[in-house]
Amino acid sequence: MYLKDGCSLLLKVKKPSIPFILNKRNPIPDAVPYLETSKTNLSESLVVNNLKRQPDISLALSYFKHVSNSNSFKHTPITYRIMVQKLGRNGDLDGVQYLMQQMKLEGVSCSEDLFVDLISYYRKKGLAEQALKMFYRIQDFDCKPSVKIYNHLLDALLSENKFKMINPLYGNMKKDGVEPNVFTYNVLLKALCKNSRVDGARKLLKEMSNKGCSPDDVSYTTIISSLCKDGRVEEAKELADSFAPVVSVYNALISGYCQDCKFEEVFAMMNEMVAKGVDPNEITYTIVINALCGNGKIELSLAVLGKMFSRGCEPNIFTFASLIKGFLSRGTLHEGFDVWNRMLREGVVPNTVAYNTLMHGLCSNSFMVEALALLDEMEERRRMPDVTTYSTLIDGFAKSKDLMGASEIWNRMIRNGCQPNVVVYTCMVDALGQVEMFDQAQDLIESMMRENCTPNTLTFNTFIRRLCLGGRVKWAHEAFTSMGRYGCSPDITTFNELLDGLFRSNCLEEALGLFREMEKLKIDWNLRTYNTTIYGLCQMGRLKEALLVVGKMLRKGTKPDIITLNTIINAYSQLGNIKRAIHLMDGMKAGDCCPDLVTYTSIMHGVCKWNGTDKAMGFLRLMMDEGFLPNIAIWDILVRTIFSKSGCFYQASMNELDMVAGQ
């Protein structure tokens, strides 16, 4: 299990013990902390206390070296551990390795707890693999592998999804004769589930029981949660019925049912919990409230909140944030603020996530002044804005076409030391594109690379969309072809945006070339692709080609929606084929895609243009009989048609129009 010579991070060759050499860049102060070194022999307790009391790491390290150089004290495992802890917590892993090497040269043994500390420091830095290499040299430090060390190392590897390293390490553990405990098995269960091997996790659960290691709540919750996330909720419920479920297991099941919007089962599960003496906790209620709010069932979520209060369970910040998000997504800002104020009255201190939720609602509804005031409040309350806060504000200003506001937030973010990520850059590209500052938007994309922030496909989709809406289709196509230079690949949205721009500019040949590119990349069309293509062809007067696309759409199993059908109806109407348009509308009534006001407006255009006022009046009556009140566009069409007729006919038509309107 140990690394071969020459593979370690530290030298393995035995060297004579040498005293510490003082670092000239960190001279030792002449002050009081070092007066004790005048003594012939310092006690361990005195050195330990001095090291612990010194908050400055460089001074502590200087003292550590000084007492050793003065030959007044020989460091012990305890003093080494204190110094390693100070360096490790400060992220100085080079210093930690130096001390570990010195321990080895001095023949000072490394305890189990110190090795666990080392693993945690590497984990904090995202260097679990380096911790593993250090572990393979564990005997060089006079330390034996233990179940505790193995567990922490396995967990560190799991935190970085180093699945391929976990199984061999577990094999080494068994070779060393170290008996796994419930913590070991729980790490392995999580690893299997995170690696989409939940069936393997279930087998391990049985192995665990067979070896006399009883699964605990974490074991069962891990597997139940994984099954639910995979959509296997009923299977998870069946497994949960085989043991005495605890609140965390119920929460996992309830979350699974919420994921599938099966709220009857959710409430049945909550009732079952109470019947079995398992009290729902704040996590239970928050899961349900969040799911209900996400599905627009705000009133029902308030009833759950009331139930929560009645059972003496206090809502937490995430409960309130879910309710606020629900109200804001529905556009009821005053109710969202009512929940916010109640949260404050309940003594729940809003965190950055809660502020971001409220800010997103304000920005989505174009309340940018209020959003800025909320940003100021965050800073006053020392809830530091994060990159999500700034991206939300920049996006809000972008959608309001307020480049000045977006730029001010960008500068504020930089001043506050918050590094923009790809989301913020993309929002800023959108803000520049909104006001057609395309040169600056492209410069910003190029500057991302210099700032080690690679643009992604969404960045290019945003840029291409704004270029197309601004009529810069050629530039958009150039941006499309340049994506590969930035390591980006176009997706279906990229093609949809570019196709829309090409059809709007009557660039049929270029659009056909884009179709060939999609085939080459094996990108399947989605509903928007079909609708964009059908609409573009119809706008160019190519109804036959559009109908061929509809045929392809049906063959591929994509169901036309109201946009598809309205596009074809409008095309028929514009060409004077009113019978076909009405026939298609009748087909919509017979199916599950009902006509809307756009459908009737399109046909009315055609009727007025090709069939005259009499037919138009008849169609108007039909429309109103079916419960559709004409809008301003339809009245405008009718009035324009009537004004184009002769005076006598005009007066008769106006009288008839008054009669219809009076109905």
DSSP assignment of 449-503 equals HHTT----HHHHHHHHHHHHHTT-HHHHHHHHHTGGGGT----HHHHHHHHHHHH
- Report the percent of the chain where pLDDT is more than 70: 91
* Secondary structure class of 580 (helix, strand, coil): helix
- Residue 574 domain flag: no
359 part of a folded domain: no
* Number of structural domains the chain divides into: 2
Amino acid at 78: I
624 CB neighbour count, 10 Å cutoff: 15
**pLDDT at position 557 over 50:** yes
Listed residues 143, 169, 197: the one ending a domain: 143
Closest CA to 134 of 178, 89, 103: 103
The answer to whether residue 61 sits within a structural domain is yes
Q: With a cut of 60, say whether residue 392 has pLDDT above it.
A: yes
In sign, the C-alpha dihedral spanning 405, 411, 415, 418 is: positive
**Does the structure show a pLDDT above 80 at 12?**
no
Answer whether residue 539 is part of any domain.
Answer: no
Q: What is the pLDDT of residues 175-188, one digit of tens each?
A: 888 898 999 999 99
Q: Is residue 98 part of a domain?
A: yes
Q: Among 145-159, 213-227, 279-293, 601-615, whose mean pLDDT is lowest?
A: 601-615
User: What's the token pair of residue 52?
Assistant: 């612990």
Residue 22 has pLDDT above 50, yes or no: no
What's the sign of the alpha-carbon dihedral 499, 505, 511, 517? negative
Q: How confident is the model at residue 643 (pLDDT cuts 50, 70, 90)?
A: low
The structure tokens 């056909």 sit at 512
Q: Which of these three, 143, 173, 195, is where a domain ends?
A: 143
Residue 427 lies in a domain: no
- Give the model confidence (pLDDT) of 98-111 as tens digits: 888 888 888 888 88
Q: Let me know if residue 346 belongs to a domain.
A: no
Cα angle vertex 269, ends 268, 274, to 5°? 100
The rounded distance, in Å, linking the Cα atoms of 356 and 375 is 9
State how far Cα 50 lies from the chain centre. 47
Q: pLDDT tens across 589-628, in order?
A: 877 788 888 888 888 888 887 877 777 788 888 888 888 7
Eight-class DSSP state of 33: G
29: amino acid identity, one letter: P
What is the overall mean pLDDT for the chain?
85
- How far apart CA 346 and CA 289 sit, in angstroms, is 18
Cα separation values, 270 from 262, 293, 311, 379, Å: 13, 18, 13, 40
Which pLDDT value is given to residue 472? 95
Q: In 3-state terms, what secondary structure has residue 6?
A: coil
Tell me the Ramachandran region of residue 559: left when phi exceeds 0, alpha when psi lies from -120 to 50, beta otherwise. beta
Domain containing 66: what range? Answer: 1-143
Residue 631 in any domain: the answer is yes
Domain CATH for 51: 1.25.40.10
Closest Cα partner for 443 from 429, 460, 424? 429
Find how far residue 517's CA is from the centre of its chain.
Answer: 30
Q: Taking Cα atoms as reference points, which of 39, 62, 60, 31 lies closest to residue 48?
A: 60
The Cα 190–Cα 211 span in angstroms is 19
**Nearest Cα residue to 581 out of 558, 615, 604:** 604
Whether residue 356 contacts residue 393, with contact meaning beta carbons closer than 8 Å, is answered with: no
Distance CA 336, CA 639 (A): 44
- Residue finishing a domain among 143, 160, 189: 143
pLDDT exceeds 60 at position 302: yes
Q: What is the largest CA-CA distance in the chain?
A: 125
Question: CA dihedral in degrees (221, 224, 226, 230; nearest 10)?
Answer: -160
Q: How many CB atoms lie within 10 A of CB 274?
A: 11
